[in-house]
Amino acid sequence: MTTTRATARGAPARGGYRRAVVAFALAFLAPALGCGAAVEEVVVPPPPAPPDLEIAHLTDLLTSARLNWLVLVRPAELARVAWLDPLLTRIFQHERLDDLRLTTGVDVRRAPELALATYEGAPDDAVAYFVRHDADPLAVERRFRERLTKLDQRATLGHQLTFVTGLVGTSSLGFVGAGRGVAGYQFGGDMARGPAKIAALYAQGRLAGVPTALAPDALRLASERLGVAPLEAFLPGPFEGDLAQGARGLFAASTCVALSLAPTPAETLALTVFVGGDFASTEGADRMLRLAFDDLGASDLGHLLGLHAPRSEPRVTSSSDGLALEVELDPKALVAGLTAATSDDVRAFMN
């Protein structure tokens, strides 16, 4: 009796030890096991989105290889010149531009940058039309695909980079979308190796060693001489055949020809024509360029464009890299002449 009472009062029974150990373990491990206490949820953040594909200049997507000519326009800059709007509307009626916006999803009047180029190719030349826009890039691509009567290919080549080709009737069309705001279109030519596919390769960084449109020395120097203007045009040399006889034969020795048009505070259009090349050994080269402008002004085309009655006296300067002619023109006469000379081409392009 004595032993039994001592065991009951002095120490827990064997089962009591077990219960005490289990209770201690549960109290210690409960937070880790989520028992009896709230557990903070660990949220793993999603990986960061890739940065936007940035295209600094549209010409960074265009190659200089087999380039026939290149025109660069800054429509938004021209649209800010109030006195120009009624004149430009004579060439590009707002109804046409509205139709183009509905067809492509892009309002070119708001475009900060536009490039139009042609490339020599087989079986026919390719026309490249690239535009920087503020529209939804997916909607712009969808509008292009909706025009196709047959979709040949659609490929996602990287982040914000797509390439599409197809047919409208029997005509081949290509499209490249790069970044959030650049769309490129190709009409005709080889879709597998034409300007749209080349632009996609430039955007991928796979043509780092291939010169872009204004990278060759002659065109780069011409671009620098012109400066930044709302409208610029470039023709790479060498020139052959009838074209070599241009500017009283100066084109035959020229590396390129470039021109720019810019509105002035006097409400005229400043025309600059640059003929690239080393004319240091050509006696009277500057006078020949001045006379060539007079020849053009006296022609039927010159009268149509108002070149026979410029607003300022043409001025020619020479440098080690070429000749430059600067003159101010009557904008009304120039636009009226361009409207008459290009109305059919503009209508066809809009269509």
Distance from C-alpha of 273 to C-alpha of 247, rounded to nearest angstrom: 11
Instruction: Provide the domain limits for residue 207.
Output: 53-211
Computed from CA positions of residues 157, 161, 167, 171, in that sequence, does the dihedral angle turn out positive or negative? Answer: negative
- Please check whether residues 57 and 150 belong to one and the same domain: yes
Q: Judge whether 42 lies within some domain.
A: no
Distance from C-alpha of 51 to C-alpha of 49, rounded to nearest angstrom: 6
Is 105 within 8 Å of 143 (Cβ atoms)?
A: yes
- ∠ CA(248), CA(334), CA(67), 5° rounding? 55
- Please check whether residues 93 and 113 belong to one and the same domain: yes
Q: Judge whether 41 lies within some domain.
A: no
Per-residue DSSP letter, 63? B
Residue ending a domain, choose from 180, 211, 242: 211
Q: What pLDDT is attached to residue 14?
A: 56
Who's near 325: CB < 8 A, 6+ residues apart?
271, 272, 273, 289, 290, 293, 314, 315, 316
- 325-349 confidence digits (pLDDT tens): 999 999 999 988 888 876 655 555 5
Distances (CA, A) of 103 to 20, 232, 351: 81, 26, 9
* Stronger pLDDT, 168 or 39, i.e. the higher one: 168
- Please check whether residues 286 and 228 belong to one and the same domain: yes
- Please check whether residues 146 and 7 belong to one and the same domain: no
Who's near 162: CB < 8 A, 6+ residues apart?
141, 154, 155, 156, 175, 176, 177
Q: What pLDDT is attached to residue 38?
A: 58
Q: Judge whether 276 lies within some domain.
A: yes
**Is the confidence at residue 268, as pLDDT, over 80?**
yes
Q: Judge whether 43 lies within some domain.
A: no
Residue 132: CB atoms within 10 A of its CB come to 22
- 33-64 confidence digits (pLDDT tens): 555 555 577 888 888 888 999 999 999 999 99
Q: What pLDDT is attached to residue 4?
A: 46
Q: What pLDDT is attached to residue 6?
A: 44
**Is the confidence at residue 255, as pLDDT, over 70?**
yes
DSSP codes, 226-291: H-S-SEEEEEES---GGGGGTTTTGGGG-SEEEEEEEE-TTS-EEEEEEEES--TTSTTHHHHHHH
**Is the confidence at residue 3, as pLDDT, over 50?**
no
Instruction: Work out how many domains the chain is built from and give that number.
Output: 3
Rg (CA), the chain: 34
Q: Judge whether 152 lies within some domain.
A: yes
Q: Which of 41-45, 100-104, 270-274 has the lowest average pLDDT? A: 41-45
Question: Across all residues in the chain, what is the average pLDDT?
Answer: 88
- Please check whether residues 203 and 61 belong to one and the same domain: yes
Q: What is the mean pLDDT of residues 296-320?
A: 95
Distance from C-alpha of 345 to C-alpha of 339, rounded to nearest angstrom: 10
Q: What is the mean pLDDT of residues 7-18?
A: 53
- 199-220 confidence digits (pLDDT tens): 999 999 999 989 999 999 999 9
Token pair recorded at residue 187: 């009409």
Q: What pLDDT is attached to residue 94?
A: 76
Residue ending a domain, choose from 183, 211, 239: 211
User: Which residues in 107-122 are b (16+ Cβ under 10 Å) and which e?
Assistant: bbbebebbbbbbbebe
List the one residue out of 193, 202, 201 whose CA is nearest residue 174: 193
SS in 3 state form for 198-233?
HHHHHHHCCCCCCCECCCCHHHHHHHHHHCCCCEEE
For residue 328, which phi and psi values (nearest 5 degrees)?
-105, 135
Longest CA span, the chain: 141
Distance from C-alpha of 258 to C-alpha of 260, rounded to nearest angstrom: 7
Q: Judge whether 40 lies within some domain.
A: no
**Is the confidence at residue 197, as pLDDT, over 90?**
yes
Q: Judge whether 349 lies within some domain.
A: yes
- Please check whether residues 61 and 12 belong to one and the same domain: no
- Please check whether residues 202 and 265 belong to one and the same domain: no
- Please check whether residues 59 and 198 belong to one and the same domain: yes
Residue ending a domain, choose from 182, 211, 240: 211
- 70-88 confidence digits (pLDDT tens): 999 999 999 999 999 888 8
Q: What pLDDT is attached to residue 9?
A: 47
- 122-164 confidence digits (pLDDT tens): 778 999 999 999 999 999 999 999 999 999 999 999 999 999 9
Token pair recorded at residue 60: 């960074």
Q: What pLDDT is attached to residue 292?
A: 96
Burial (CB count within 10 angstroms: exposed 0-12, middle 13-18, buried 19+), residue 326: middle
Is 114 within 8 Å of 73 (Cβ atoms)?
A: yes
- Please check whether residues 207 and 220 belong to one and the same domain: no
- Please check whether residues 222 and 189 belong to one and the same domain: no
Q: Judge whether 38 lies within some domain.
A: no
Report the amino acid identity of residue 133. H
Count of CA atoms in the C-beta half-sphere (13 A) of 275: 27
**Is the confidence at residue 25, as pLDDT, over 70?**
no
- Please check whether residues 69 and 174 belong to one and the same domain: yes
Report the amino acid identity of residue 343. S
- Please check whether residues 110 and 226 belong to one and the same domain: no
Distance from C-alpha of 57 to C-alpha of 44, rounded to nearest angstrom: 38
